[in-house]
Amino acid sequence: MIESVPIPGINDFDKTFWKNTTKNLLSIQHCGSCDEPRFPPRHMCPKCQSTNHKWKIVSGDGELWSYVVPRSPLLPYFEKQSPYVVGLIKLNGYSNIRIIGRIMRADNTNEVDINKISIGSKLSVGFNKINTDISIPFWYLES
């Protein structure tokens, strides 16, 4: 049974994304040929089928496109934090990109007021340092 935070697997393909998060930077993969953005990272561009790619640092600001408050049964790590909010964030400047992440307070605590969250809420990105290799992006309500 998983008692601590589940750690994402890092492979050669998405290591740049995770390396940037440890520097508190959010990055999005773009096609190296046609510049089409894509997330999650993929080996081939869905637009032109190029296998070339590059990474661009983005602000991480966006708006809440959808959200859920998970209910039991949960993994023990998440059960201890319940209730919490998981959002689908539409990044500013990227109409086709949605990223899933926790909605928390700016100080990285779980005590967000669920009643203040609504579709369209303006959000900014923060980072929760798990270990030396992993910082998980989260989003918080802009003041």
Give the chain's domains with CATH numbers. 10-58 (no CATH), 59-143 (2.40.50)
pLDDT of residue 99: 97
The tens digit of pLDDT for each residue in 3-15 reads 677 777 788 889 9
pLDDT at 44 over 60: yes
pLDDT of residue 3: 61
Residue 124: how many CB atoms within 10 A of its CB? 17
The tens digit of pLDDT for each residue in 90-141 reads 999 999 999 999 999 888 877 788 888 999 999 999 999 988 888 999 999 9
Distance of CA 74 to the CA centre of its chain: 20
Sheet holding 26-31, edge to edge: 37-38, 26-31, 53-58
Question: Locate tokens 């600001």: which residue?
Answer: 61
User: What mean pLDDT comes out for the span 4-27?
Assistant: 88
User: What mean pLDDT comes out for the span 78-90?
Assistant: 88
* pTM (global) more than 0.95: no
pLDDT at 1 over 70: no
pLDDT of residue 12: 80
Pairing of the two strands 26-31 and 53-58: antiparallel
Question: Locate tokens 């990272």: which residue?
Answer: 41
Report yes or no: 64 and 77 within 8 Å, Cβ to Cβ. no
Quick one: which of 118, 119, 139, 115 has its CA closest to 127? Answer: 139
Quick one: which of 37, 32, 77 has its CA closest to 54? Answer: 32
The tens digit of pLDDT for each residue in 47-73 reads 999 999 999 999 999 999 999 998 876
pLDDT of residue 82: 80
